[in-house]
Amino acid sequence: MEHIELEAKKEIGSAKNSQELEALRIKYLGRKGRMAELLLQIKDLSNEERAQRGKQINQLKRELEELFEKKKNEIKNSESNKNEKIDVTAPGRALPFGHLHPRTLILRQVEKIFQSLGFSVVDSSEMETDYYNFQALNFPKDHPARDMQDTFYIDDELLLRTQTSPNQVRYMEKHNPPLRVIVPGKVFRRDASDATHESQFYQVEGLMVDKNISIGNFKAVILEFFKQLFGKEVKIRLRPSFFPFTEPSFEPDIQCVFCDGKGCRVCKNTGWIEMAGAGMVHPFVFKSAGYAPYEWQGFAFGFGLDRLAMMKYKIDDLRMLNFGDMRFLRQF
């Protein structure tokens, strides 16, 4: 028995894999194994001796069983480690990243283009006074042009700005000409919302003041702007219009980028899309800002930023920009 014990422990300890171990288990613990043989041999002993021997043999059997179990686990662990192939060079699983909102994307492009043309980008306030939003821009208190911009008034003097144009005067009050700035920001109108109107939307105000500035300069700047934004030459036309703070006033249209001017649903079959209000700065506005009105000339414009996003990304419902619908936003 001692001999078997020594031999078994040695062999189990050095088993290299599960097949070897299984063969050993049969050799020692199998039905016809060494332990079974030992048990057979005790049948000739006296009762007393047999009981004692039997006990010892069974104890050794249990000991060996435990030893097999332990070794089996050891081998299992090392074998499964070997079989599991980990490719340490494989790229990790990509986590879903957030990204910029289409309105932010378009705004960054607009800012970059105007900066490349020498314009500074200026921040501004969404709350305005009646004075800057209207009076300084040549809309007196009783002027009918105020009707064009249904206003959210906070009290007699304060309002949510209806346009970014008040920053023309605000900027000129603090800076001397010549100057080139754009002022992007949110504006508010008491308007019902539909596919092309919202009560909150974004404008980009632009202002260039220098000596000998003409409509030609304006055309050159916005042609270059559209060319860079859309990545191709875009036809424009200037339609005469009216704004109290520009003279003359016009509205630049661009040829519809959806149908290249052939006429479609988006341009209502006209081939053109209204993009902005613009004009030559009215002498009244220079006076409001404290500039000598006939010494300087300038042009000003106000783009609808959401409309630019619609054109650039071919979005046919402006309200999508405000819904926060992930199915829409994930496409950018």
Nearer to ligand DAH, 184 or 302 (CB): 302
Regarding 279 and contact with ligand DAH (CB under 6 A), the answer is: yes
Which of 276, 327, 321 has the alpha carbon at shortest distance from 102?
321
Residue keyed to tokens 């209207």: 134
Nearer to ligand DAH, 8 or 306 (CB): 306
Regarding 184 and contact with ligand DAH (CB under 6 A), the answer is: no
When computed from its CA atoms, the radius of gyration of the chain, rounded to whole angstroms, is: 43
Does residue 103 contact residue 202 with C-beta atoms inside 8 Å?
A: yes
Nearer to ligand DAH, 12 or 300 (CB): 300
Strand 200-210 versus strand 179-188 pairing type: antiparallel
What is d(CA 188, CA 171) in angstroms, rounded to the nearest whole number? 21
- The residue range among 82-90, 214-222, 258-266, 295-303 that interacts with ligand DAH, by the rule CB under 6 A, is 295-303
Regarding 278 and contact with ligand DAH (CB under 6 A), the answer is: yes
Regarding 297 and contact with ligand DAH (CB under 6 A), the answer is: no
Does residue 257 contact residue 266 with C-beta atoms inside 8 Å?
A: no
User: Which of positions 219-248 make contact with ligand DAH (CB under 6 A)?
Assistant: 243, 246
- The residue range among 111-119, 172-180, 286-294, 296-304 that interacts with ligand DAH, by the rule CB under 6 A, is 296-304
User: Which of positions 129-148 make contact with ligand DAH (CB under 6 A)?
Assistant: none
Q: Which residues contact 239 (CB under 8 A, 6 or more apart)?
A: 250, 251, 252, 253, 274
Does residue 191 contact residue 278 with C-beta atoms inside 8 Å?
A: no
Regarding 300 and contact with ligand DAH (CB under 6 A), the answer is: yes
In the complex, least distance from residue 217 CB atom to ligand DAH, rounded to whole angstroms: 14
Site residues for ligand DAH per CB under 6 A: 163, 165, 205, 243, 246, 277-279, 300-302
